[in-house]
Amino acid sequence: MNQLKLHQKLQTFLLEDIGEKDMTSQTIFSPNHQGEGLFLAKESGVVAGLAIIKETYHLLDSKINIQYQVRDGDVVKKGDVLAKVNGPVSSILTGERVILNLIQRMSGIATLTKKSISALSDSSIQICDTRKTTPGLRMFEKYAVTVGGGKNHRFGLYDAVMIKDNHIAFCGSITQAVKRVKQQLGHMVKIEVETETKEDVLEAVNAGVDVIMFDNCTPQQVREFSTYVPGHIVTEASGGITLETLPTYAHTGVNVISLGYLTHSVSALDISLVVNM
């Protein structure tokens, strides 16, 4: 994760939660009251986002010391200690919720990504995410996908061209849409086109795109459509694929499967901060 963006995001999240001050912690504990806490896994999964513990606490109070017990990508089980923190108790408690909100969600995403890769059980196909992320959390969620073994699709509208069904409908055809893009953008920009039929696929191939997506297609359609695409064009399946149906897309010849559920329908991994007496 970009360090400058990470600090900017964490400052925003802390200000949202703290406001003027932590009324509870700062009235109960003096600045000199020291203690130790443990970040503890309460269920099994893949941990992600551990750097957030150190970065958040250092923004709050440089006197807090962090000792990591595991690393991002490690599989942890219930009862495992992820990190130990010691220092001023009021600062430890003030940063607790922001940290947990992020690392619980990120660990949930990493866990689900790893589970999806295992369910597909086809190393020739890469699992990747989509732009269906929580507003404000895209950087965190997409990083978590990579921790779980997946890849990132485009980060936003700015880093690749993706011509979708509405672009095509307004423009008139795949051919015309691709032509307009190529007239204005340079050779460094990838062009992906969304297709739904054999005719769409063949038109996209002839238009000279870099990536062809098979949108909301069955495994049988994906297998068929893949045969029409030359090897230098990357193929992607997306839309309507769930964890339960994912295994049926194995060995269909597609290069990438992008899954919105990795980030928009994930359950957080249960992690807590407990006092170490």
Which of these is catalytic: 63, 164, 179, 180?
164
C-alpha span between 95 and 93 (Å, rounded)? 5
Which of these is catalytic: 42, 54, 97, 190?
97
Known active-site residue 194 = yes
Pairing state of beta strands 126-128 and 256-258? Answer: parallel
Which of these is catalytic: 84, 132, 151, 154?
132
Known active-site residue 215 = yes
Token pair for 176:
């015309």
Known active-site residue 129 = no
Known active-site residue 97 = yes
C-alpha span between 249 and 257 (Å, rounded)? 9
Which of these is catalytic: 96, 129, 141, 194?
194
Amino acid at 74: D
For residues 264 and 142, the answer to whether their CB atoms sit within 8 Å is no
- Show which residues are catalytic: 97, 132, 164, 194, 215
